[in-house]
Chain A
Amino acid sequence: MPVTTLLDREIHVDDEGFLTEYDEWDEALGAELAKQIGIEMTDEHWSLIRFLREDFKEKGETATTRRVQAAGGVPTKRQFELFPKKPAKKMAYIAGLPKPHGCV
């Protein structure tokens, strides 16, 4: 697995750049990841990212957009506004989680 450097830290990532170690992430790093993909984080972005982190801890997999709406309470439309075009993957990346596996 590749290692990359962000905020002067060594981070384990997969070939695409998604973090592979849950515990290497903190919010400072999340903010840096967001910057890398051109997302300006607001409180609303953060509450969604925190939901994803908590949900992953509990379920062992990354929430899909469907689950973010059903369990996280953020409507699909809003997710597309906050993380344009590819919300599921962008949210996962900023939250330091693998891409969601679910189809829906």
Chain B
Amino acid sequence: MAAVSTGAVVDATGKETREINREIRALIARGEKTIRVANPGARHNLAVGLDSDVSITFEGPAGYFLGGMMDGPRLHVQGNCGWSVGEDMLSGEIVIDGYAGNSAAAAIRGGTVVIRGDAGARSGVSMKGGLLIVGGSVGYMTGFMMQKGTMIVCGDAGPAIGDSMYNGHIFVAGSVDQPGNDAVVGEPTDEDNAMIAEALSRYNIPHPGGFKKLSSGGRLWNFSKKEIGVWIEAL
């Protein structure tokens, strides 16, 4: 089990996803803790289902489902990623240097996803835990049906942010023009602010100042004819 000091390399040029993933897993089985993937070319399904203690750097963009369903690894994409980065993640960390497609961090239950650029529609949809940080803005219906966890958005929020949230919190520094159904806009506590400052500095994201806090109004928790307005309306 020789550890390579510069990290092991997978050259993805001309290879299918299945082969690339096999090589990655073989390196992990060999005991590599640091892996580089050169020329990923925005392929889909890279590094899905990994549950080892390993750091992988992708020297280029990734496609859909990067790091999907993972439990433990640290992934870094030096570029953009497609839809659903880190979906269903249990633990670990994913950092995307560029932008992310739709549904970033969909249904994650733990771990951290960081998008330095913008994130698309339905970011953090159905989140069940964990932390999503977006350095840029987020798209339509971000945080839809969020259940637990924390989202920090340094840019602006697209329409319907936090729609139908059960729980969890979304912090937005930019504009919140159209909060979603049952999303209530309030002020962060001192603890919230300290958490945000720590999280942003951990990833060297400049603190934009002045966050708003979105939480669930709880009016969609139980069927109630008195809250009919909230049930009927949708953006």
Asked if A pairs with B, the answer is no
